[in-house]
Structure 1
């Protein structure tokens, strides 16, 4: 098995790259999706969030009011740290469970938005960073996601810098390009990943203690 960490700044197009990798044959473990699952109504995660932030972060039907919670934590790094301390261990446990279910020769891609910020690069065999110019990120957030420009800039500022992400990268995928060019780049990267996974699967496993 080859464990790959995939990350990139908000609006860089990481989701498109993960989609293309899945088309190639990757097993995707999406941290954002899992993070939503672990705070669904009735979960211990949601109960812990309410304990930390109050019932005002719930919607009328008892679900998590994500925009409201986001407005709190993205304006206050300490509050963001509290939220992360609740959600991250739950996400990690579920991710490990999904990883154990993958085939021995699989390329398991962990889509982790805050990989750089949380110092998670050593957990993976290699790290792929999806990179885009900050102006491109801002345009996508405003034009495609409907964010206001101040909100988009605040979300970008809350993350690692472009240079910090590139510093942890083993592979950089430029996403300031047309989709056809991006697809070709991902296919080239996939060929390398698949070859490494095959080699890894043929290595003898360490003895069990």
Structure 2
């Protein structure tokens, strides 16, 4: 029997049946294709924060710029004292800790309030050099020692190098950074640009030979910082 000999209702139902069958086969094909295709994983971009506290790294790794692991530290980098005199990093006979920091940073404040004064006494033959590299005002509230990192960032506007020196003079008095082996400096504009610090604080460990041996982009507690002295 040819299709033209069928009644209109019959042809209509037959057409609907064929269409449903075709759609069913198409759906099955899509299902099988999706099942057989290799799975794709969408990975979110890593979220980073310049102020997130980190555990210190004890494994030397490759670096770039003047603070590359295994390279001699930039001892000749221009710095200024808090009274405006030109100077360079101080060097300890057993080693040196350099913390590139910002006066407004609560994590930097935690280090300067609770960590470095304690370890300066425990390691008198180490120099601890605190260098303000952020031309932004404000003095942080470091918060309590425990729980750590529960203070607040300071608030302030852009500063000149001279204004940074004035801010750090107040900072030293606020935090009581008076140990003989703690040295506080301000980085002039050229040094800020050369060092290119993007995480506050960034801590560098220099061995007795003046070579960069460790680095950690972030704050550490007293117990964690003990691992930096070796």
The TM-score bracket by the shorter chain reads under 0.3
Choose between structure 1 and 2 for higher RCO, CA contacts under 8 A separated by at least 6 residues.
1
| Greater C-alpha Rg | 2
Relative to the length of structure 1, the TM-score reads 0.27
